[in-house]
Chains A and B, each alone.
Chain A
Amino acid sequence: MSTAIKIEEKLFQNRYRVDAGRPHIAIKDPDVCAHQCKSQQCTVCCPAGCYTAEGNGAIALITDGCLECGTCRVICTEHRNVAWEYPRGGYGILFKFG
């Protein structure tokens, strides 16, 4: 049996109130991701697949599916390149069950 799964299919089950145009997480310096970070662990360890490696080494971050876990901030140990806040009150993931 194949276990290939698209993360989008999982996130599709979740409820979100997206704060359009106000992402709560940002990459501080995109050049650091592109040129200094070899492992780019955020692209595999984010449980919502919010970070993707573009072909040219750059990292794209889209926080719409974010589960607000904190992983990306904690694991970016070498460069501390993630500016991480909670969304504004009431926005973001809304767990139905948790």
Chain B
Amino acid sequence: MAEKFDAIVVGAGPSGNAAAYTLAKSGLKVLQIERGEYPGSKNVQGAILYADALERIIPDFRDDAPLERHIIEQRMWVLDDDSFVGTHYRSDGFNKPPYNRYTIIRAQFDKWFSGKVQQAGALLICETTVTDLLMDGPRVVGVRTDREGGSIYADVVILADGVNSVLARKAGFRPELDPGDVALAVKEIHFMPEEVVESRFNVADGAGVVIEMFGKITQGMMGTGFLYTNKDSITVGVGCMLSDFKAQQCSPYKLLEEMKAHPSIRPLLEGGEMKEYCAHLIPEGGYKAMPQLYGEGWMIVGDSGMFVNAVHREGSNLAMTTGRIAAETVIEVLAAGKACTAGNLSRYRAKLDDSFVMKDLKKYRELPGIFHRNPQFFTDYPELLNRAAHTMLKVDGIDKKTKEREIRRTFTRKRSLFGLMGDAFKLWRAFE
């Protein structure tokens, strides 16, 4: 007779680990299944870790988690072909423990988190792909894996299986992803001595810098580039909507190569040794693209439920938070001696609605649509900004008043004054 668990968690990324940890800690019998050789071996992130979400699960994570650098400076660059206009925000306030944001390397971080999950008492099996959900009528009662005799039963199955969620799709819980709702990101990691990272970015003592970029590097597509400092390496990558990659017939690795060759980016990577090239999807459709999140005997957490705030580049924290809240819901239902029916699990959705997760996603629900319909945010504006800066800063005997007029003229030539104001208004409404 097959074994029965209180809960099965599919996937050992941040959402699955948060869920399994919370469940196991409360004393429930938890099985977690991961297809990778070890947790993290299939996973890709930029990667910024937001301390708050993890702190609520493992308050003393800083003691032994593999953290690369704490972030003290955020740069925002708007790039043209051979220039950028940017802002830097650097604060010593970010340089005082407990730090707020860190860079991490996912393969190492997920392995560490998984260690905590196992210490809490969950059973983890790796190198095992869940191939199907076992159904009893409309109810999910367990999973089938690609191992021999691989049917396992549980009161509830938590799908923490990431953006592609083959399982949710096969079971009809979610439709196929729309190319307009997902971004494809490609990235590389370049190793160099710690001192080089620190002198190049003007940091010391484990502090780090992140650069977020948009403009010409995405070649007219809706997307962003990023460059993050790790201890002795730099991560560089770019992500754009799949619908744009498809429409423009653009090769993702060529895009990355061209971005790396930008005169403002190339020197930062100089002398580094590239040791890995990754690609991964990011669900960016936001609130409007969210599927049903629970049902008879099942729940969806993390990327699988489209929990990403693309505007703020938050994903792993939403993954951890949704994983934790799903687990807390299950704990309450089982403690009350009830079954994991859709009705009883609906508390999950109610709790999410009450949390920053849904509040933030709801707040920005119009943004993906606005950016889709208004490509000028990624094309004309970056170019105009850079030209304006160039015109103002170039000392060439032309008076500043004339320059200002010229800048205003190029802006309105590209886009009518009415269009400019309309864009400002749309953005303000969406961010408001």
Partner of B252, one of A47, A73, A74, A85: A47
Interface pick from A27-35, A55-63, A87-95: A87-95
Q: Which residues of A contact B233 (CB under 8 A)?
A: 97
Inter-chain CA distance A80–B260, complex, in Å, is: 34
Q: Is A5 an interface residue (CB 8 A)?
A: yes
Instruction: Output the residue of B40, B43, B252 with the most chain A CB within 10 A.
Output: B252
Inter-chain CA distance A73–B242, complex, in Å, is: 11
Q: Is A37 an interface residue (CB 8 A)?
A: no
Task: Sort chain B's interface into a size bin.
Answer: 35 or more
Inter-chain CA distance A75–B37, complex, in Å, is: 28
Inter-chain CA distance A91–B252, complex, in Å, is: 24
Contact yes or no, B105 A97, CB < 8 A: yes
**Per-position contact with B for A61-75: 1 when CB-CB < 8 Å, else 0?**
000000111110111
Contact yes or no, B37 A94, CB < 8 A: yes
Contact yes or no, B182 A74, CB < 8 A: yes
Nearest Cβ in chain B — how far from A60, in angstroms? 17
Complex: chain B residue closest to A46, CB-CB: B252
Q: Which residues of B contact A77 (CB under 8 A)?
A: 179, 246
**Per-position contact with B for A1-15: 1 when CB-CB < 8 Å, else 0?**
101010100110110
Partner of B42, one of A47, A49, A93: A93
**Per-position contact with A for B148-192: 1 when CB-CB < 8 Å, else 0?**
000000000000000110100000000011110010101011000
Inter-chain CA distance A75–B36, complex, in Å, is: 25
**Per-position contact with A for B321-336: 1 when CB-CB < 8 Å, else 0?**
0000000000000000
Contact yes or no, B37 A17, CB < 8 A: yes
Task: Sort chain A's interface into a size bin.
Answer: 35 or more
**Per-position contact with A for B123-136: 1 when CB-CB < 8 Å, else 0?**
00011110100000
Contact yes or no, B179 A75, CB < 8 A: yes
Q: Is A41 an interface residue (CB 8 A)?
A: yes
Contact yes or no, B275 A96, CB < 8 A: yes
Q: Which residues of A contact B164 (CB under 8 A)?
A: 70, 73
Contact yes or no, B245 A90, CB < 8 A: no
Contact yes or no, B276 A39, CB < 8 A: no
Q: Is B320 an interface residue (CB 8 A)?
A: no
Contact yes or no, A95 B279, CB < 8 A: no
Complex: chain B residue closest to A42, CB-CB: B246
Inter-chain CA distance A45–B42, complex, in Å, is: 20
Instruction: Output the residue of A14, A90, A92 with the most chain B CB within 10 A.
Output: A90
Inter-chain CA distance A39–B37, complex, in Å, is: 36
Contact yes or no, B246 A41, CB < 8 A: yes
Q: Known contacts A70-B164, A75-B246, A94-B37: does B274 contact A86 (CB below 8 Å)?
A: no
Q: Which residues of A contact B145 (CB under 8 A)?
A: 89
Partner of A45, one of B128, B146, B250, B274: B250
Q: Could you pull out 19 A-B pairs where Cβ atoms are within 8 angstroms?
A: A3-B258, A10-B253, A14-B277, A39-B249, A44-B250, A47-B253, A47-B279, A74-B178, A75-B179, A84-B166, A89-B145, A89-B147, A92-B42, A93-B41, A95-B107, A97-B106, A97-B275, A97-B278, A98-B276
Q: List the interface of chain A (C-beta within 8 A of B).
A: 1, 3, 5, 7, 10-11, 13-14, 17, 39, 41, 44-45, 47-49, 67-71, 73-75, 77, 80, 84-90, 92-98
